[in-house]
Structure 1
Amino acid sequence: MKRLFFSIGLLVCSIGLFAQKNGKVEFEKTQHAFGKIKEEAGAAEIVFKFKNTGSDPITLTSVKASCGCTTPDWTKEPIQPGKEGFVKASYNPKNRPGKFNKSVTVKTDGQPEIAMLRISGEVIPRPKGPKDFYPMEVGNLRFKSTHIVFGDVMNNGKDTASTLVFNQSEKVINLDVASSKLPSHLKMEAEKAAVAPKEAVRIHFTYDATIKKDWGYNFDYFKLVTDDTDTPEKRINLSATIKENFSELPAGTKMAKVRFDKESHNFGTIQQKTKVATSFTIYNDGEGPLIIRKSKASCGCTASRPAKMELAPGESTHIDVTFNSGNFKGKQKKSVTVICNDPNKPSTTLWIESNIEEAKGE
């Protein structure tokens, strides 16, 4: 029996020896230092050459770069004994200033099974210019931003914001503030009406919430009129979130306290082109009147106006919410924002969810 086991073991070892490939990869070098490279110069490349010094053909079964920063190419077909192959690695320096040290892992069906190649260097940042400082291009003018964000604005106050506009052309471009039709709650003032070639001018904006008379997130836009021959009217977007100023309430004021019977509802699985509805109940658990300032639904969702917009202490009302599945597919999540005069919870987001299946027969 022992002799039988010995014979089987010897046979297995012999098969293993015959199955093992004798191809061997020998790289000319396994490291390369690019030194200093300019960011604007484009991808830096290096070709690592190797030779099969073994007695069997060899194949590179996998070549993977670290971090996705290097993009390898390599010899795909089997390399015969005595023949050469390559692994090419490239590094894109765009938006990657500073030193780098990356690796490429090479796997073979011979020896060695794994080889590591390394590239290193330092990316010298490109000089900054108008495209960096003023990234938004509209015609011959470049803007630091075409979306003016005021952030939070108190309902009884004003806020200011600004942007820079740069003339990248060779001619003077005039800003016609008077002809630019802004919403009544917005004012605009340019430090100069005539923007000289290669000059930047700051434009100031004022947002007056007392004129807007709204609540929560608000979005506006207007067309800035110019005499630019390319796109003379430049669209400018503006946004603000109007919040109630509770800091000026007299001491001892009785406060409202909002509560909802639920803050989310799941319709489960529904078909496309189906309408479903639910209701959210609002309670006033405070000592003062609860005023519902606003309720707003997201796209695909409709929220009714609450039955009552002002609740005495202990009273309640409800908001009916309808969702139209339309041509939506898969999991959906929509919202209804309710804004009220509770200083501890002035804004509440109510969520509705569903999983939408395609309509049968379509």
Structure 2
Amino acid sequence: MIRKLYILTFLCLIFASYVAKGQGKLILEKETHDFGTIAEGTLASYVFRVKNVGKDPVVLTGVQASCGCTTPTWTKEPILPGKIGMIKAVYNSEGRPGPFYKSITVTSNNSEEPTHTLYIKGEVSTKDLKSGYTAEQKALSPRLAVGSTSHNFGKLEKGQKAVASFKVRNTGRQPLIIQGVQSACNCVTYRSSVAEIKAGQVATLELTYVPAVLKEQTEVVTVSSNDIVMPTLRLTLKADVQENKASKNMLREGVKPVPFR
């Protein structure tokens, strides 16, 4: 009996060692995001992307911000080899004028580097930021322009992830930075094809929408940027959200759900 117990303990240790030293490997798309200058009261958000270039799944076991002013959310399910995970950082600038530089510590079962550190930075100006600029400063400002301000997904299933792409152009004279997006449903994240959109450059702004409410939905998404003339721009997402078909099929099976056939 004692011998069996020793063997079982030995096997558990081997298994734990194997799990801890899995061959998953994360690489970061970028380590630091600069929001530039934002008006006080802005909820500035950015989504960091991490890719698993290893052979085994990687699990983000924890994400911790350096202060309570930054709220992180992240991919909870295992990131499979070749797939991308997300870490969203939201900085609350209310009552925090001046420059900021915050860190976000990411821990995982990454075989080579189990801990990564991400950074967000910028400067918080007063709430009446845009009214204090001179005509010359406004003339030199970056300017955000879009060809279309709405996108209709058509029919979507509840919980389905859908991406709307908007072409944005900087018609100003200084680099344009997308600083964050806000929506009442808190179900929209974003990604810009470039960190800084140079003067005259066109970039792609991707809005990822995950509907959580049934029937026809209209989500107004406020995009914040360092355009001092028009620091916020509203985009509209529409969808006819329907019940998830897989859930319905599982219910029809009876006692035990069978999602695949």
Give the number of the structure whose residues are more often helix, by fraction. 2
Greater Cα radius of gyration, structure 1 or 2: 1
> What TM bracket, shorter-length normalisation?
0.3 to 0.5
Give the number of the structure whose residues are more often strand, by fraction. 1
Q: TM-score, normalised by structure 1?
A: 0.30
- If asked which structure has higher relative contact order (CA below 8 Å, sep 6+), I would say 2
Q: TM-score, normalised by structure 2?
A: 0.42
